[in-house]
Amino acid sequence: MLPLKRLLLLCTTGCALVGPLLAQADTYASGADDRAYAVATLQRIARPVLQSLAENRFKADFPIRDWEKDRVKFSHLEGYARMISGVAPWLELGPDDTPEGKQRAELIELALRATRNAFDPASPDCLSFTAGNQTLVETAYVALAMLRAPTQLWGKLSAAEQTRLINGLKQTRQYKPYENNWVLFAAMREAFIWKVTGECTRKTIEYALSKHQDWYAGDGAYGDGPAYHWDYYNSYVIQPLLLEILKICREKQDPLGEFYPKALKRAQRYAVVLERLISPEGTYPVLGRSSAYRLANMQLLTQLILSGEAPPHLMKPATRSALTAVTRRLFEAPGTFDVQGWLQIGVVGNQSKIHEWYNSTGALYITCDGFLHLGLPTTHPFWTGAGGPWTQRRIWAGDPEAPVDSKLTD
């Protein structure tokens, strides 16, 4: 307990000191340093998966924890699919002569070998898309990876390898999605197949888009099915997939694509909310399902930054500083990785009580989808500008120019 004298001092001077003290504590890394940290962190997460799958020892090496034994038939597929969807935009920049470009060249090669093994029936690490309905979910992440790296991943597969991958995805057509965000996984699969082959089950796409217009809850957020849930599924799944599906509909000049401007406007509002949830200390409220997905809760924000469609103030380096702060809080926590370098369950380190029945170690690799902004080149103003205080830092430092929030009405 604090001495009375100290309490009195805090009470009488605290209001005056909070702003200046926070302002003095604000230091921001350069864009080059922020990027180097994000690249190193993403590689730390992804490399064990890529390396072991590329060398056909993934199923032998990948850990199956005591709490996930009923999910073992899905965990390997989840680990590959979710990891590759997040790494893909960075890989798509391609190799170059810079240190980062040389690292990319190495990981591109690993990613191609890993993908070939994942879909090769002769490989001991061939992944099954018929093990149960969870495989329906993972088709969407494979599709996202190929869409996000059309040159460095999809384009470097042979015609036979592309056909094998598509056929693997088609195998999940036998599974009916639940009446919630799952309808988007099926639609994402069909949209990708439509893009690369010209054919699809269009009614699957139409149904998912129609239901999400019905499930819109207001102010930039959708229900996860008919009901709204306090969690991050709008960023984990719903809005990122909606935008990707609708972009393909627009490319195909299908009337379904007419929903894109409205969906984008809603996504932009939700991205503003995500940035405002980042505290001055680089934390965020941990609530709702799937908290162990860590940085994936920022997927929508990083996706809009990558596409250049985020609201202008979120395209500034202050958002970069915020994302760096969150990344450090999440991945520098002791116990985040085991001694072999695999992710462990938790938000801040290893927190087994955060486990939910559908979690597997593989599912945790969706956190890679919080690094999509690495797909912007190093010359982009997002990386070259000086970092600065994000919204909550500005507010709690007493910045008189701190921006007001406003709801979306549509």
Domains of the chain: which residue ranges?
28-396
| Helical (H) or strand (E) element with 217 | strand 216-218
| Distance in angstroms (rounded) separating the CA atoms of residues 73 and 215 | 32
pLDDT of residue 26: 62
Q: What are the respective helix, strand and coil percentages of the chain, to the nearest 5?
A: 65, 0, 35
pLDDT of residue 248: 98
Say which residues have a Cβ less than 8 Å from residue 319's Cβ, sequence separation at least 6: 275, 301, 305, 310, 382, 390
Cβ atoms of 265 and 410 closer than 8 Å: yes
pLDDT of residue 66: 82
Write out pLDDT tens, residues 41-93.
999 999 999 999 999 999 999 998 887 877 889 999 999 999 999 999 999 99
Say which residues have a Cβ less than 8 Å from residue 307's Cβ, sequence separation at least 6: 243
Hey, what CATH topology would domain 28-396 get?
Answer: Glycosyltransferase (1.50.10)
The DSSP code sequence of 75-142 is HHHHHHHHHHHHHHHHHHT---SSHHHHHHHHHHHHHHHHHHHHT-TTSTTPPPS-SSTHHHHHHHHH
Say which residues have a Cβ less than 8 Å from residue 353's Cβ, sequence separation at least 6: none
pLDDT of residue 23: 44
Given a cut of 70, the residues of the chain with pLDDT beneath it are 1-26
| Distance in angstroms (rounded) separating the CA atoms of residues 351 and 335 | 9
- The token duo for 44 is 């730390």
Identify any residues that bridge with 216 across adjacent strands, giving them in sequence order: 222
On the 0-12 / 13-18 / 19+ scale of CB atoms within 10 A, 391 is buried
Write out pLDDT tens, residues 259-301.
999 999 999 999 999 999 999 999 999 999 999 999 999 999 9
Which of 106, 107, 72 has its CA nearest to residue 86?
A: 107
Cβ atoms of 246 and 261 closer than 8 Å: no
0.85 exceeded by pTM: yes
